[in-house]
Amino acid sequence: MGLSNLSRSLILEYVFAFVLRVWLYNSEFKTTIIGRVEVSTPVNSWKRVTEGVVLQKDGVNPYSGDMFHESPVGLAIYSQLIEYASPYLPGIFILLDLITGHLLYLTAVEYMKHLMRRQEEDKAEFSEDVKDLLLSQKDVERQPLYVVAAYLFNPYILFNTVAQTTTVFSNICLAASFLFMAKGNRWGSCVTISFATLQSLYPIVLIVPAAICVGYHTLPIKKPQKLTKARAIAPVKLDIYQKMLPKSLRSVNSTHWITSMATTIGLFFVMLTSLLFLSCHLSGGWEFLHSVYGFMLLVPDLRPNIGLFWYFFTEMFEHFRLLYLWAFQMNALVLYLLPLSLRTRRDPILLAASLTGITAMFKSYPSLGDVGFYLSLLPMWAHIFPCKKFFLSFFSLNLLVLFNKEKNSVADLQQGFIVLAAFIITSVLGPTVWHLWIYARSANANFYFGVGLAFAIAQIFLITDILLSYTKREFILRHGTSTLLHGKHGKLVLA
């Protein structure tokens, strides 16, 4: 049996991605990429990993100084790679990157199947004039290909791989966690999120969407009871937990829903605690906690990066430091968790992608590899834009340039052009301003921070527009495309 067109497209993507990475590894650009502050940070630099391994071999505790900030479990893995597979490290990083792309492809396949099932379940509630907004079989087949292409050919991901940063390992853990979430696998989700949290702390927020995903897949479905005439006429009152569920699961007792979420979260913390004790055993003490997680939370290293922490804490009076540490870390970890969980409870994969994007923007030491990962997820929601969609070949992102609006087109990227322009300009201007500041000495820190701030604002606009478009589509599916209100045309806005 011959390969289908989709299979051929997928294989070609992997082949071209492999060739592109091999070429970059053997090009003169590799040395430049490795040294870029946008790519390598104190918490993901491979140079620091090798120094940590050398210190451990020499009998020196790598956590006693300010050089190594990876977990002891990660150190054990990296030590084996450097000792036994050092000549093959480029191939290993390329292979891990291709595996990550394939995991994202499988995630998109599972997610699109879930969306189709939910669409069929809720179709009776949809308005009659929303056929153009419904998910089609073509979307189900093509959007996973867009996802893997957006990952494999994303320049941010390419730089991350060529620089051999440990973000490659973080991304494969995150990709696996998204796949297990899409499948509703409790154990797999907890294991992968605990490993990702062990390495970089911030993925701890993903346990909430994971618990919701597992809840959808594991709650028992009770057969609907026969209603008497009186009960059939009376409105059915649903509690908050039942409203979170699609129609087929609303008969489930709320206690089971709460129990499922509590079990998932409890299992995650048991696994994370076990990994911490394993780390203590490997390192011979608890010093690693301050060197790894204390370093991320307290932000002692203020070298410039694409984030926002370094500039604020460089310019700030010391007695305000603790206040702003709390404010910045809450912004990255917990501030958006509850409102987004409530608003996107019917789509926990979108919730997980949004939280991943927020942490990539606001974490203490972000890199382009973090940004590229969550941008690669966004093509899974390309169907929310009922227009012709053109994926940018320059970034391989799903920043959608919308042309030829259709009559019923109401869900669009309001800031699409601004986001596109900001991504292109900041990606080019960042290295330029860095050269002017550090080498030519004709600029200063304000210039570089300004570029980073514009880059963060563009990401905020992008995530906000995706969430707003998702909300608009959900509203329109049930209320129709008409915007007439008291005889006048209205406009759906984010309130």
- pLDDT tens for 338-369 read 999 988 888 999 999 999 999 999 999 999 99
| Buried/exposed code over 37-63 (b: 16+ C-beta within 10 A; e: otherwise) | bbbbbbbbbbebbbebbebbeeeeebb
Instruction: Name the residue with higher pLDDT: 336 or 240.
Output: 336
Residue 416 confidence (pLDDT) above 90? no
Q: What is the number of H-type helices and E-type strands within the chain?
A: 22, 4
Residue of 79, 343, 103 whose CA lies nearest to 209: 343
User: What is the reported pLDDT for 370?
Assistant: 95
**What is the tally of structural domains in the chain?**
1
Structural domain contains residue 494:
no
User: What is the reported pLDDT for 492?
Assistant: 66
The mean pLDDT of the chain is 84
Q: What is the tens place of the pLDDT at every residue in 267-289? A: 999 999 999 999 999 998 999 99
Q: What is the tens place of the pLDDT at every residue in 151-201? A: 999 999 999 999 999 999 999 999 999 999 999 999 999 999 999 999 999
Residue of 283, 463, 258, 249 whose CA lies nearest to 377: 463
Structural domain contains residue 230:
no
Structural domain including 376 reads 5-225+238-489
Provide the percentage of residues in the chain whose pLDDT is more than 90: 58
Describe the crossing of helices 368-377 and 348-362 by its angle, rounded to 10 degrees: 160
Structural domain contains residue 232:
no
Residue 391 confidence (pLDDT) above 90? no
Q: Specify the pTM.
A: 0.88
Which of helix, strand or coil describes residue 252?
Answer: coil
Structural domain contains residue 233:
no
Residue 424 β-bridge partners:
none
Residue 404 confidence (pLDDT) above 50? no
Structural domain contains residue 130:
yes
Structural domain contains residue 231:
no
Q: What is the tens place of the pLDDT at every residue in 106-137? A: 999 999 998 888 888 877 777 777 777 787 88
Ramachandran angles phi, psi of 402, nearest 5°: -100, 125
Describe the crossing of helices 167-183 and 348-362 by its angle, rounded to 10 degrees: 160
Query: Per-residue pLDDT averaged across 461-471, rounded?
Result: 89
Structural domain contains residue 93:
yes
Structural domain contains residue 21:
yes
